[in-house]
Structure 1
Amino acid sequence: MTKSDLKELVYRVNGAAIEVHKEIGPGLLESVYHKCMERELELRGIYFETELVIPIDYKGLELDANLRCDLFIENQLVLELKSVEKVLPIHEAQVLSYMNLLDVSMGLIINFNVTNIFKEGQKTYVNHKYRLLED
């Protein structure tokens, strides 16, 4: 996947989140936004896996740690959904760890518990150990 492909994918996912937020607003449970995002991604023809179990290989032993990525988009993008007052450093560490474990270069946290999701609710994370192909 090229840089511009990934940028376009992030743009499309953000558009889906904006649509969900516009339709149902802030203040609901994360599980509600999760279901709505699944539907919006389907409507937009964006492939995803939901609640993807993330394997952990620790020194040759595969651990059943029950880690789950909210949405894994197009096998390229980790998407963690939140409905919290504030995204905390532990939430950021979570998405970065998932990116490393799934061996992908980009992740998003979308927090639906904000007034303006475009300005306040989305943050992109880049795993700098990966080089994307130039366009």
Structure 2
Amino acid sequence: MDELNALTEKVIGSAIKVHKELGPGLLESAYQECLNYLLLKDGFVVEREKPIPVVFEKVKLDCGYRIDLLVERKLVLELKSVDRFSPVHHAQVLTYLKLGGFKLGLLMNFNVPIMVKGIRRIIN
């Protein structure tokens, strides 16, 4: 878990850097593009819009679930640009963690004055 915590700290640092540069008020896609760029530049393996299938009766079905960013094949990032988180945002990350077999996700809202106030760690 220490490795995952270290990765999480680096990703949060990158998100803070993006937020300081751009500020709040942009579309989610702009933050996603910039964070993806920065993480790739820093040498991380990043998958963008990673499909997550639902397995039903041993059959994988594409139901349209997509992780915004998957870092190092283990950290789920769900990015938002909203007034405030709602319970469905938390549930969305939990669903991705469960369907993908991941341990940790970050729910990140870039539409806040201070980025650290817009980050929630979600554990499966």
- Under a length normalisation based on structure 1, what TM-score does the superposition of the two structures give? 0.89
The offset of 1:100, in angstroms, is: 0.6
Residues 1:122 and 2:101 are matched in the alignment: no
Deviations 1:59-113 (A, max 9, x none): 2232220110000111111100000000110000000010011101100011000
Distance 1:70 1:37 in 2: 11
Corresponding residue for residue 35 of structure 1: 33
**RMSD over equivalenced CA pairs, Å:** 0.8
Counterpart position of 1:48: 46
Give the whole-Å Cα distance in 1 for the aligned partners of 2:8 and 2:62: 30
SS at match of 1:65: coil
Following TM superposition, the consecutive aligned residue runs of length 4 or more in structure 1 with deviations greater than 3 angstroms are none
Runs of 5+ unmatched residues, structure 1:
128-135
Cα deviation for residue 46 of structure 1 reads 1.5
Aligned residue in 2 for 1:83:
81
Tell me the distance in 2 between the aligned counterparts of 1:76 and 1:103. Answer: 9
Ranges in structure 2 where 5+ consecutive residues have no aligned partner? none
TM-score, normalised relative to structure 2: 0.97
Q: Which residue of the partner structure matches residue 98 of structure 1?
A: 96
**1:16 equivalent among 1, 5, 14:** 14
Larger Rg: 1
Aligned-partner Cα distance in 2 for 1:57–1:82 = 26
Larger RCO (CA within 8 A; separation ≥ 6)? 1
Query: Share of identical aligned residues, percent?
Result: 44
**Which of these residues, 41, 61, 66, is aligned with residue 63 of structure 1?**
61
